Chain A
């Protein structure tokens, strides 16, 4: 679902902290027709120009809070990522991305489901690896975007 709309087109930009480029960021939406408790969000398969950026260099900024790792969000069991809201995916990469066009391959993993599944117990102990399609209910394939690095600093869209 929402294949071409899961990443806001103008949102790819480098992350600058204290004048230093520490990585890059993307503005993302949920690949479903509804929101979910944030704890269910299991990270991204993210490949930029052929390089894979795994979950341990990803952090997630949502609901006006500082970026959290996907280990930390597993504890957000009563906090909801609402359907209407954009979130920011931060990726640690000292020096960031070079200017110009980038090929981004993307899959979101959210452990939302229709009731009990045979994989439930397994996923408590070993959550699926994003990119396999498992735990990517409504968009279980990798989507490719061509994005131009935005040299301006993008902020999350204001919450309505």
Chain B
């Protein structure tokens, strides 16, 4: 048996926002137009009326699954710790929210729940007994700039060992195999005023980071979004967590040496190199037994020069990632997760990227690489 293919409906976030493709249309696209894909993954707070989508919806949902031959694979859930506004949610409160989402996933026939990379392991431990009792597997996302070799994965493996649970694992986001900023992201920065020197410096620093030759320490414990916010605050105010200071000062110096009269946005661009995980494909091979499903992240599919009809994302090392999963005997789902649409959303509507086309190209690549 080989790997199975599906799509995270996150990929169609813009089509949904613009009301070009509703949830049923998204399910139909996945199951009818992607050459044998059948897996459905979704973000509950994007795709559903939340927190309760209602019984009528649940009936329609299962009707779509039957009609289109689709399989509910994974529900992605969020954690907003300021929900109550008068205090920061405790671990127990976060676990209650996760338990709600586990029940919702079960109600819709999902097999897995993806928890965010930032969810403390204590929260997962509190919710694990319910997941076990409902036969739902919990997968903690491992997202760039985290790496498979880091503490986040060890915590999951430790908890699984301690509890003997078969319902706990990881959801690797293949952005951890990114090697450089995506060209579409750099073009987006340039339209907002970043210089070509800053973009070149970001690509140069990416090369150094990938070869472990950066002239300062590179963290692996934050999320990309949180890291960006912290760095931008540092550039504007000079303040940051002490542990991040050598890194942020190093990026600033690196940029100042290469960019003439850098603006805050130029620093932001260069700091994108900090979001690379530098993880090893062999770590993924060794962890295959604990992979719940895979977020097959991509930002921009383009045709491979000289190979009509074949596509690639030049910024993510897909051959290495898929090869590692194949060597590890992975038989679960690879779910396309397109994220590049946001890098066109400053442009007029007619220039927005076509998500449906991007996912079709990506599925062509997955078909080809998994058949190899």
Contact A133:B225 (CB < 8 A) given known A83-B17, A113-B80, A160-B19? no
Whether the Cβ atoms of B225 and A114 lie closer than 8 Å is yes
What's the Cα separation between A77 and B84 when bound, in Å? 6
Q: Which residues of B contact A2 (CB under 8 A)?
A: 14, 17, 345
B81 to A39, Cβ gap below 8 A? no
Are B83 and A40 in contact, CB atoms less than 8 angstroms apart?
Answer: yes
Q: How far is the CB of B138 from chain A (nearest CB, A)?
A: 15
Q: A33 to B84, Cβ gap below 8 A?
A: no
Partner of A124, one of B47, B82, B120, B347: B82
Alpha-carbon distance A29/B104, docked complex (angstroms): 25
> Contacts A2-B345, A3-B346, A160-B19: A78 and B81 contacting too (C-beta < 8 A)?
no
Q: Does B51 contact A5, Cβ atoms closer than 8 Å?
A: no
CB-based contact B225/A33 at 8 Å = no
Tally of A-B Cβ pairs under 8 angstroms: 111
CB distance from B104 to the nearest CB of A (A): 13
A52: Cβ under 8 A from any B Cβ: no
Q: Which residues of B contact A124 (CB under 8 A)?
A: 82, 85-88
* 1-36 of chain A: CB within 8 A of chain B: 1-5, 29, 33-36
With A33-B46, A118-B241 known as contacts, the answer to whether A39 contacts B84 (CB < 8 A) is yes
User: Would you call A115 an interface residue if the criterion is a C-beta within 8 Å of the partner chain's C-beta atoms?
Assistant: yes
The verdict on A74 contacting chain B, using a C-beta distance below 8 Å, is yes
- How many chain A residues touch B (CB < 8 A): the figure is 40
Q: How far is the CB of B337 from chain A (nearest CB, A)?
A: 11
B348, A4: Cβ atoms under 8 Å?
yes
Across-interface contacts of A153 in B (CB, < 8 A): none
Question: B117 at interface (Cβ–Cβ under 8 A)?
Answer: yes
A5 to B79, CA, bound (A): 26
Count of interface residues, chain B, beta-carbon cutoff 8 Å: 46
A39 contacts which of B83, B117, B233 (Cβ < 8 Å)? B83
Q: How far is the CB of B179 from chain A (nearest CB, A)?
A: 23
Q: Are A36 and B80 in contact (CB under 8 A)?
A: yes
List chain B residues, Cβ under 8 A from A36: 45, 80
- B19 in contact with A5 (CB, 8 Å): no
Q: Cβ of A35 and Cβ of B80 under 8 Å apart?
A: no
Q: In the complex, A134 Cα to B239 Cα: how many Å?
A: 14
Establish whether residues B345 and A40, one from each chain, have CB atoms under 8 Å apart when the complex forms. no
Q: Least Cβ distance of B86 to chain A in Å?
A: 7
Residues in A whose Cβ lies below 8 Å from that of B232: 133, 140
A33 touches B348 (CB 8 A): no
The reply to whether B85 and A33 contact each other, CB–CB distance below 8 Å, is no
**CB-defined contacts of A115 to chain B, threshold 8 Å:** 79, 81, 116-120, 223
Contact B82 A113 (CB under 8 A): yes
Determine if A37 and B46 form an interchain contact, defined as CB atoms under 8 angstroms apart: no
Majority DSSP secondary structure for residues of B touching A = loop
> Within 8 Å CB of B346, what residues of A?
3-4
B50 in the interface (beta carbon within 8 A) = yes
Chain A residues, Cβ within 8 Å of B22: 160
Contacts of B43 in A (CB 8 A): 33-34
Kindly state the separation between the CA atoms of A65 and B363 in the bound complex, as whole angstroms. 43
Interface string of B10-49 (1 = CB under 8 A from A): 1001101111001000000000000000000001011101
Interface flag for A47 (CB, 8 Å): no
- Write the nearest CB–CB distance from A13 to chain B, whole angstroms: 22
Asked if A120 CB lies within 8 Å of chain B CBs, one says: yes
Q: Which of A1, A5, A40, A133 contacts B80 (CB 8 A)?
A: A40
Q: In the assembled complex, which residues on chain A have CB atoms less than 8 Å from the CB atom of B87?
A: 124
CB distance from B355 to the nearest CB of A (A): 12
Residues of A within 8 A of B229 (CB): 134, 140
Smallest CB gap from B341: residue in A: A1
User: How near does chain B come to A41, taking the closest CB pair, in angstroms?
Assistant: 10
Question: Chain A residues in contact with chain B, CB under 8 A?
Answer: 1-5, 29, 33-37, 39-40, 74-75, 77-78, 80, 82-84, 111-118, 120-121, 123-124, 133-134, 137-138, 140-141, 160
Instruction: Give B residues with C-beta under 8 Å from A.
Output: 10, 13-14, 16-19, 22, 43, 45-47, 49-51, 78-88, 116-120, 192, 223, 225-226, 229-230, 232-233, 241, 342, 345-349
Sample of 9 further A-B pairs with CB below 8 A, known A34-B43, A113-B80:
A4-B345, A74-B85, A77-B85, A84-B16, A113-B81, A114-B79, A115-B118, A115-B119, A117-B81
Give 3 nearest A-B pairs by CB, closest first: A115-B118, A34-B45, A34-B46
Can you give 23 A-B contacts (C-beta < 8 A)? A2-B14, A2-B17, A4-B348, A5-B345, A29-B17, A35-B45, A37-B83, A39-B85, A40-B83, A80-B45, A82-B45, A83-B45, A83-B46, A112-B80, A113-B80, A114-B118, A114-B226, A115-B116, A115-B223, A116-B88, A117-B81, A117-B226, A120-B82
